[in-house]
Amino acid sequence: MKLFIAVFLLIITTSVAALDVRITNDLESVEVRHKGQKVLIQRIQDIDNTVDPAYARTSRRCPPFCVQPASIADGVETIAEIEVLDYLKKSSEGDDSILVIDSRTPDWLLNGTIPGSVNIPWTLLNPESGADPFEIADILENRFGARSQEGLWDFSSAKTLVLFCNGIWCGQSPSNIRTLLRFGYPPTKLKWYRGGIQNWENLGLTTVE
């Protein structure tokens, strides 16, 4: 009798825990760490939910908000949400060879960002936008794991960077990627989430401020 009750309770618990709106058939949610806190990424369960008005606009002035190509540069892989979640999960589980980067300027972050990401605005890496060369070097070395050797950069131990911004009309993560490539960052260590926050929001995935 006790065994029957235990099994019955397990079935009820499992049923209650199941989400109606999953990420994939086999994936309900992904637990990540954001600023030291655990965050559960899942899709909004309200099937009548609509996209945040901040990302409902279909048209913005171009330039600067022009549609980006599917491939940003040779060797740089363009990825989508499932791949981003996989990188976030690995990073949150202690894989320090991965860094997921929100390339937007801080004002955009007021609308939320992807849990588990860090903010490194494109303006901090781009010399043409007035970025401090010493600050660029500090980011490359202390955030990305590159090593400076006699005026040259060694990227053999550098992290794999997953970069995103607002969406396919946003040039902030493409700017970061192009700048890093000019510094000599290996393209195979750069991943681009082209859909960005707009696609993330369109799928009802968790964001944090």
Structure confidence at residue 18 (pLDDT): 86
Q: What is the mean pLDDT of residues 4-24?
A: 59
Long-range contacts of residues 65-72, Cβ cutoff 8 Å, at least 24 apart: 65/169, 65/170, 65/171, 66/169, 66/171, 67/168, 67/169, 68/168, 68/169, 68/170, 68/171, 68/174, 68/194, 70/194, 72/174, 72/177, 72/178, 72/192, 72/194
Instruction: Name residue, tokens 């681009």.
Output: 192
Residue 185 above 90 pLDDT? yes
Q: Per-residue pLDDT tens for 152-184? A: 999 999 999 999 999 999 999 999 999 999 999
Q: Encode pLDDT of 41-99 as tens digits.
A: 999 999 999 998 888 989 999 999 999 999 999 999 999 999 999 999 999 999 999 99
The pLDDT assigned to 193 comes to: 98
Categorize the per-residue pLDDT at 12 as very low, low, confident or very high, splitting at 50, 70 and 90: very low
Predicted local confidence at residue 209, as pLDDT:
87
Q: pLDDT band for position 15 (50/70/90)?
A: very low
- pLDDT tens-digit map of 93-145: 999 999 999 999 999 999 899 999 999 999 999 999 899 999 999 999 999 99
d(CA 112, CA 153): 33
pLDDT of residue 16: 47
pLDDT band at 17 (very low <50, low <70, confident <90, very high): low
Q: What residue ranges define each of the domains in the chain, with the CATH number in brackets?
A: 15-202 (3.40.250.10)
pTM of the model: 0.90
Q: Tokens 């590159």 — which residue?
A: 146
Is residue 13 scored above 80 in pLDDT? no
pLDDT value for 88: 98
pLDDT digits (tens, 9 = 90+) for 194-203: 999 999 999 9
